Amino acid sequence: MRYLPAIRYLQSRNISSSKILFSSVEAGRRRVVVTGLGVVSPVGCNVTQAWNNILAGVSGIKRLTGESYEKLPCRVAASIDPRDLNVEAHFGKTELKTMARATALAMIASKQALEQAGWLPTDEFDCRRTGVAIGMGMVDLMDVCETNDALKRGYNRVSPFFVPRILPNMPAGQISIKYGFRGPNHSVSTACATGAHSIGDAFRIIQHGDADVMVCGGAEACISPLAIAGFCRLRALSTSFNEEPHKSSRPFDNARDGFVMGEGSAVFVLEELEHAKRRNVPIIAEILGYGLSGDASHLTAPREDGTGAILAMSRALENANISPNDVGYINAHATSTPIGDAIEARAVRTLFMDNWSKLAVSSTKGAHGHLLGAAGNLEAMFTVLACNQGKIAPTINLESSAEEMQGMNFVPNVPQDWQTDKTQRRIALKNSFGFGGTNASLCFSEYKE
């Protein structure tokens, strides 16, 4: 195995950084760049608004209202402000009957991304070379409950669109149908790693020549009393800040007590480099590598030694043909859980060894909560913008961190400038980890010839 030294390190826990080796890039591998971005999220419903709010530390987390929520331990969530987005204005009534809210959000974000990329092909060849990879972490549980209640009143009360509404691949299907894209049609559902896996898989599809353009990302819209109750029973959600919702998501902070559910979608247009250059379209960033791993440990908790995270990150670096010393920023998965944030910080310190103190590591979940299947892609968007603009988004609500995290630059509360030598590219990792022990890490960089 090409990354055997890294694995031996994990086994021995006593290996020098000089033994982590990365092989040369495979000959003839196609370069993949980002040419379009679109977003609907708790911190904004276009890229400029969302990015400005993230840099300003604006929180999109609010108190949940209604009798059903008052009975629950967690009464906060990060929902999209209806003043920012009226879904009904984008679709006809008949269209809305055919799709879940998550699908609608993905379609709105996709439209933004495709328009920015200037890619709305009508040529048959171009449509056949354009694919879609949009994932969803979980369906809207209330849709299932309401349909079950309808069935009790009679078979004919069940909507003929019930099954299409709850299938996780329907965002990808609806987008391909709308735009006539006949390339690979792919859907990932890997819990909270869904969005990152979708982007990574799309990256490889283009690399391997199965498409020239991919529309990719994730969508999630499942905030409901049942979903909140279910995650509360897992003791996964924050319960200590119901009266101060904006303080409830606090990655890496000593007072963190669980994550905050969010909703939204972020969509990328990925493109083969030469294809983008022929169109003379602005290039936002480049994807250099993609790494995956499994914890093989526990249903909800990561391995205590951070093995899964280390393997995903090291494989992304190896795939990118770079060393840990080349990375300047990590957008962490860090969801604001006591266990998960500490393990991810430990994994970063372990893998980056002598270089960890020079890294900037931040989690934007303090502002927008945890979008589950749409988390990795939303945060990948902020990672791409950091590479593009030289600004690193802050970790808000970070007041103090544990002793084992001392010395790490978590970019507390205010953004930081990302300075590099003019001859170097800004290079970042984006981590995403999901229940079941599924892990993904994406490597992005500033685009340079």
Residues with a known catalytic role: 192, 333, 370
- Round to whole Å and give the CA distance between 252 and 257: 10
Contact 301, 338 (CB under 8 A): no
- Return the C-alpha torsion angle 38, 39, 43, 49, nearest 10: 20
Taking CA atoms, 81 is separated from 394, 400, 411, in Å, by 22, 30, 27
Taking CA atoms, 151 is separated from 142, 154, 158, 246, 418, in Å, by 14, 5, 6, 40, 56
- Round to whole Å and give the CA distance between 262 and 362: 18
Closest by Cα among 100, 264, 97 to 166 = 100
Contacts 24+ apart (CB under 8 A), 152-159: 159/97
Relative orientation angle of helices 307-320 and 338-352, to the nearest 10 degrees: 50
Going through 171-222 in order, the beta strands assigned E by DSSP cover: 185-186, 213-220
Rounded to 5 degrees, what angle do the CA atoms 338, 20, 361 make?
35
